[in-house]
């Protein structure tokens, strides 16, 4: 008898990878189920502690921090906690949220409560917080670039 160790031992196996083998075994087209979903942080939480804020401050990029968390971080590291870029306390804007009778955050002009899907806008000079709908309807369309509560430019 002949041994199976000859030059024709792999003659029936293809010498290439099929498309399905590439996709499944070698990392080709990954399904969306494979990647872990990252939940968006609620709008009323500090980006450092991931807990609801008491004294909200906003970085120029829109990240919101609680005063008790951002000040010690800036003193120690002098950089943005999320991006690593230089950041100082002078770059932060104190945010002023309006609340309804139940203590829930709302737009002070349209009186619509904020939720996880609401686009929220803060005006940097005053720190007042509005829904994007209010800013769009009352400031951007009529070209009235003033704070809706204080009339500051």
Computed over every residue of the chain, the mean pLDDT equals 86
Mean pLDDT of 14-21: 75
pLDDT at 17: 76
Averaged pLDDT, 117-133: 94
Query: What are the backbone dihedrals phi and psi of residue 76, each rounded to the nearest 5 degrees, phi first?
Result: -80, -45
pLDDT on residue 34: 56
What is the rounded average pLDDT of the residues 36-54? 89
Q: How confident is the model at residue 24 (pLDDT cuts 50, 70, 90)?
A: confident
Query: What does the DSSP assignment read for 97-126?
Result: -EE-TTS-EE-TTT-PBP-TT--EEE-TTT
What is the C-alpha separation between 6 and 119, in angstroms, rounded? 70
How confident is the model over 66-107, as pLDDT tens digits?
Answer: 999 999 999 999 999 999 999 999 999 999 999 999 999 999
Task: Please report the sign of the dihedral spanned by the C-alpha atoms of residue 100, residue 61, residue 77, residue 38.
Answer: positive
């Amino acid at each position: 008898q002949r041994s199976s160790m000859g030059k024709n031992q792999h003659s029936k196996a293809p010498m290439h990878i099929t498309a399905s083998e590439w996709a499944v075994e070698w990392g080709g087209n990954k399904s969306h189920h494979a990647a872990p979903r990252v939940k968006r942080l609620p709008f009323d939480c500090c980006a450092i502690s991931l807990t609801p804020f008491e004294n909200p401050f906003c970085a120029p990029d829109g990240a919101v921090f609680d005063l008790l968390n951002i000040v010690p971080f800036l003193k120690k590291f002098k950089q943005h906690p999320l991006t690593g870029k230089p950041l100082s306390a002078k770059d932060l804007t104190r945010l002023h949220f309006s609340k309804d009778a139940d203590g829930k955050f709302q737009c002070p002009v349209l009186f619509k409560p904020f939720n996880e899907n609401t686009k929220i806008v803060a005006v940097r000079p005053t720190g007042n917080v509005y829904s994007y709908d209010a800013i769009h309807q009352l400031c951007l369309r009529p070209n009235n670039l003033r704070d809706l509560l204080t009339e500051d430019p």
